Amino acid sequence: MLRGARPPATNFCSVYLGRDTTPRVGFPFRSLIRRLPFPRLLLQCLISHAVVGSFVQPGLEGSASLLHLFNNKSSQEQSYCETESRLASSLDFWTLSSENLIAVLPVDPVKENYVRKVRNCIFSIAFPTPFKSRVRLVAVSKEVLEDILDLDLSISETDAFIQLVSGEKIVSGSIPLTHRYGGHQFGIWADQLGDGRAHLIGIYKNRQGEKWELQLKGSGKTPYSRNGDGRAVLRSSVREFLCSEAMYHLGIPTSRAASLAVSDDEVWRDQFYNGNITKERGAVVLRVAKSWFRIGSLEILAHYGELDLLRTLLDFIIQEHFPSVDVKEPNRYVDFFSIVVSETAQLIALWMSVGFAHGVCNTDNFSLLSITIDYGPFGFMEAYNPDFVPNTSDDERRYKIGNQANIGMFNLNKLLQALNPLLDPGQKQLFRELFKAKLGLLGERKGDDDLIAFLLHLMEETEADFTMTFRQLGEITQSQLQELDIPQQFWALKMISKHKLFPAWASQYLLRLKSNMNDSDSERRKRMTTVNPRYVLKNWMAESAVQKAERNDFSEVHLLQHVLQHPFQMHSAAEKAGYASPTPSWAKDLRVSCSS
């Protein structure tokens, strides 16, 4: 059972921490995490012994062959011009390969692309289905293109690039794959799921030696499409493109979005499953990640007793993505699971610290690399509410924001039936440490848990905006807070200050700040604005961008993309757009669903 801060009227989650771990994606709390021990979720169950398997040799990856001319020089020695010359301006010498995967992991022998039950393999070969109508490139991430894929931004203006990112053409030498996996959906075993509308078009190895898997989402039917059409629509694609990039710049481990393309093809959707079917436009997001393997990747193999294949896949994943685990050790699976538990705990704590609710925390949506994947009916909590549910399909409120740690525990329990021997009684709470940083608290003091819980209770009762309450606490001066003189610009704090217990909390908070050693008010505010974002992708912002995009006006997509790349910095255009203002009245009843 998870333990932690105990708010007076809420079961808000906490997660636990044990030994030093370096997160896969840098985040604002990196200096904090280095000081903390290794995090593990507390699971009350018995340890299950994983079986041993063979050592797996890696295969080949794609690359930009011209870029390897500079491999003998260190990055510190390279000049700006040399770095620029390593960016490909054409796809002629830029390659992808699936060899690294299919050399080790078995592929479905059936080559025809029709919906079916698949057995004894990890992947099926399936080609994307090109759009029939005009395709437009709506947005690209310059960072992803240049820093990850070694592509010059100018390449996004070429027909070859648009053909690649829309699924019309596959890079020569690569074989498009769709992944077989299963999963527990809303707590119930759903059997075979798999990539029903996504195609892995290859692996790219960049100039830093990093391997990235490129996947098109919304690119057509696969053997795993079930009753779907294999397409994604513009509204969901805009949301995924913006939120994956926003999460990265918030410091949350996540997949990245390279591009967003939209077609004029008609796609029919019942958005809220109420019988109101409407015509929308098909779109494709090119997204990248170190790996798309998820808990469900292992569940499907265990479910059908394909234990040799389970060993092979686990050894491959460990060899490729868990360098600290010795693949020759008999206990390598226990070590592997302990890291997954650790980093999943970190991920969920980071979600909570920015008020993010994933919306569909099924086991098939939980990455084994503990990154955020599969953006659907997500939402950033606006008014503080531990029962916040962004997904209208979640009738039982299973995936409410305050239950995400418990769901993480459930999912990890499905991955491994027990972890008790791994628990460390000296663990510390990651939840507490993250929220202490959000409040600008230094050191350890008795009562910190109560101070955090007290604030969350006040926020819940006043429905104070989660993001802006913490941000404005980092912007207001101690003297203003002491006098309870809340200027109108601090609208979120002004809302919470109406609670009769707010003066008592403010007094306790100010007293606690005095115990910060060698700290000043200006340093506190500076520190707090580096960990509390001013902008997150709230549903109304995404909806505004989607509505304009439906009219072929992508200006707000581009504005949000720019703003969300620097979520901790104030932007004049963002302020003018109201991104740090209260939710507009028209958006109070906004809903999103699993439909996309």
Residues known to be catalytic: 364
Inter-residue contact 87 to 46 (CB < 8 Å): no
Contact between 16 and 459 (Cβ < 8 Å): no
Q: Give the closest residue to 325 by CA, choosing from 315, 335, 334, 316.
A: 335
Residue 192 pairs in a beta bridge with 182
Q: What values do phi and psi take at 270, rounded to 5? A: -100, 85
CA dist 334 and 295 (Å) reads 15
Select from 165, 453, 415 the least CA-distant residue to 303: 415
Element containing residue 574 per DSSP (H, E): helix 572-577
Q: How far apart are the first and last CA of the chain?
A: 35
Write down the number of H helices and E strands in the chain. 20, 14
Residues in the chain: 596
For 517, other C-beta atoms within 10 Å of its C-beta total: 6
Q: Is the sign of the CA dihedral 23, 29, 34, 38 positive or negative?
A: negative
Give 104's contacts (C-beta < 8 A, 6+ positions apart). 56, 57, 58, 59, 312, 316
Measured CA to CA, the distance from residue 308 to residue 312 in angstroms comes to 6
Phi, psi of 27 (to 5 degrees): -150, 165
The rounded distance, in Å, linking the Cα atoms of 144 and 254 is 13
Name the CA radius of gyration of the chain, rounded: 24
- Kindly tell me the sign of the dihedral angle through the C-alpha atoms of 201, 207, 208, 209: positive
Half-sphere exposure of 511 (CA within 13 A, CB side): 11
